[in-house]
């Protein structure tokens, strides 16, 4: 499952053997992200996407400034979910014309920040439209807006559904025409629609179905729009394999499906920019979480490797970030991947809670204090998705290699 090379029984990140990298970072635990793997993922995706599709990176997956700065140069735009993420995107030099802002509870200061920056705001309620109108009046310029639509369908087999049925995200499709009328009355600069049905989907047919339905819904809603649709964000939903049995997403059918949508749009929505926004799919497999074994304990025949890292740094790997049934992320002893003798062990952190579990009864090389534990698939929803101040242990370091 791992994208990382193994040389002399050590994993290599960004061309650097893990023990050397740990010394270079200066501490454990840390997250490390591999530039080469990031670039390869973008290149591989562009090879199957139609040239007309704009590829955006969603910062919510990983807003580390150095990583965002790197990706901003190789993708077409950025999507943010907070005022702080917007500052990171602007600091990275991203073109404001290619930055969009989504989120169900944008504050008045965030909306003012967005309007002043000239980015596209994905409006998710009538309240946001009213606040943007006031901001536009104060600034003397019309805010750029798209309507985030809560569709009347769900992304099948997605790990996290963000559209369809009652949702806090977006505006219910049946209410969009009325909001479009209000946007026109308020004098906002309408540019298009944003639809995001769900995330972490490994079934190409489900993603294709959601894209087709999203496109068709946008075409219908365009009939009520106060101006031609210039931007249509079809969301993402591309998943990565985490657990045994997960099949890697086949993106080729998705590319073919988007090519068909591009052709249809030439007639239905002339001049529209079609966007897909991806987070986890671009960065998830390019990152590892590394912690050090500080103790080895055997309790009634059960081996525990106690590390200096844990759920406070990597909540998802502990199984407490949306998993219904806990499953192990792929894990290895990074400085002795194959090792000699092997055993089954559980990897735990230093926190005073039984929830602090990074791996349960995993087959590993026999590890001792000082060895480095690596959690793969850790480039997305890691440091910023974890309760780093829980029990007041040190916060984690992140590096781009």
Q: State the span(s) of the chain assigned CATH 2.40.37.10.
A: 6-32+287-400
Residue 289: pLDDT band (50, 70, 90) is: very high
Tokens 């087959």 map to which residue? 363
Question: How does pLDDT run across 165-205, given as a tens digit for each residue?
Answer: 656 778 999 999 999 999 999 999 999 999 987 789 999 99
Return d(Cα 135, Cα 45) in angstroms, integer: 38
What CA–CA distances, in Å, run from 255 to 51, 147, 260? 10, 25, 9
In the chain, what percentage of residues exceed pLDDT 70?
A: 96
Quickly list DSSP for 145-175: EEEEEE-SS--TT-SEE-SSSS-SSSEEGGG
Q: Can you tell me the mean pLDDT for 305-322?
A: 94
CB-CB contact of 54 with 47 (8 Å): no
Give the burial class of 87: count Cβ atoms within 10 A of its Cβ; 0-12 exposed, 13-18 middle, 19 or more buried. middle
Question: How does pLDDT run across 248-286, given as a tens digit for each residue?
Answer: 999 999 999 999 999 999 999 999 999 999 999 999 999
CB-CB contact of 140 with 118 (8 Å): no
Return d(Cα 137, Cα 188) in angstroms, integer: 10
Return d(Cα 346, Cα 353) in angstroms, integer: 14
**CATH 2.40.37.10 is held by the domain 6-32+287-400:** yes
Predicted confidence at residue 154, as pLDDT, reads 66
**How many residues comprise the chain?**
401
Task: State both tokens at 164.
Answer: 């369809």
H or E segment at 374?
A: strand 372-375
Q: State the span(s) of the chain assigned CATH 3.20.20.10.
A: 95-278
**Other CB atoms within 10 Å distance of the CB of residue 166:** 6
Question: How does pLDDT run across 3-58, given as a tens digit for each residue?
Answer: 899 999 999 999 999 999 999 999 999 999 999 999 999 999 999 999 999 999 99
CB-CB contact of 395 with 388 (8 Å): yes
Q: Can you tell me the mean pLDDT for 380-392?
A: 96
What CA–CA distances, in Å, run from 270 to 26, 181, 229, 274, 275? 54, 22, 8, 11, 15
Return d(Cα 56, Cα 192) in angstroms, integer: 16
Fold of 95-278: TIM Barrel (3.20.20)
């Amino acid at each position: 499952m791992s994208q990382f090379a193994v040389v002399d029984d050590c994993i290599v990140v960004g061309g650097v053997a893990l023990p050397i990298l740990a010394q270079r970072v200066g501490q454990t635990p840390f997250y490390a992200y591999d530039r080469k793997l990031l670039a390869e993922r973008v290149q591989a995706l562009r090879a199957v996407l139609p040239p007309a599709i704009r590829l955006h990176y969603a910062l919510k997956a990983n807003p580390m400034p150095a990583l965002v700065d790197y990706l901003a140069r190789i993708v077409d735009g950025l999507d943010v979910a907070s005022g702080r993420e917007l500052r990171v995107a602007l600091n990275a030099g991203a073109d404001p014309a290619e930055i969009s802002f989504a989120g169900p509870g944008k504050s008045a200061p965030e909306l003012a920040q967005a309007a002043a920056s000239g980015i596209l705001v994905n409006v998710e309620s009538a309240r946001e439209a009213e606040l943007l109108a006031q901001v536009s009046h104060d600034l003397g310029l019309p805010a750029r807006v798209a309507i985030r639509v809560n569709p009347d369908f769900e992304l099948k087999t997605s790990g996290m559904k963000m559209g369809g049925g009652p949702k806090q995200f977006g505006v219910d499709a049946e209410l969009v025409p009325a909001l479009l009328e209000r946007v026109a009355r308020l004098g906002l600069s309408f540019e298009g629609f944003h639809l995001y049905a769900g995330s972490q989907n490994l079934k190409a047919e489900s993603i294709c179905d959601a894209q087709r339905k999203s496109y068709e819904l946008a075409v219908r809603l365009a009939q009520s729009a106060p101006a031609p649709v210039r931007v249509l964000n079809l969301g993402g939903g591309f998943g990565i394999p985490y657990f045994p049995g997960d099949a890697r997403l086949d993106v080729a059918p998705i590319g073919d499906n988007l090519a068909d949508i591009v052709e249809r749009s030439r007639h239905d929505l002339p001049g529209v920019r079609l966007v897909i926004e991806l987070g986890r799919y671009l960065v998830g497999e390019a990152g590892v979480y590394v912690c050090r074994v500080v103790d080895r304990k055997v309790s009634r025949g059960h081996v525990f490797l106690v590390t200096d890292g844990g759920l406070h740094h990597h909540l998802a790997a502990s199984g407490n970030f949306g998993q219904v049934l806990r499953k192990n992320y792929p894990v290895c002893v990074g400085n002795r991947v194959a090792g000699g003798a092997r055993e089954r062990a559980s990897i735990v952190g230093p926190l005073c809670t039984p929830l602090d579990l990074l791996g349960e009864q995993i087959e590993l090389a026999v590890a001792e204090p000082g060895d480095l534990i690596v959690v793969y698939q850790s480039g997305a929803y890691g440091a910023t998705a974890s309760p780093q101040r829980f029990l007041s242990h040190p916060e984690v370091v992140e590096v781009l290699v």
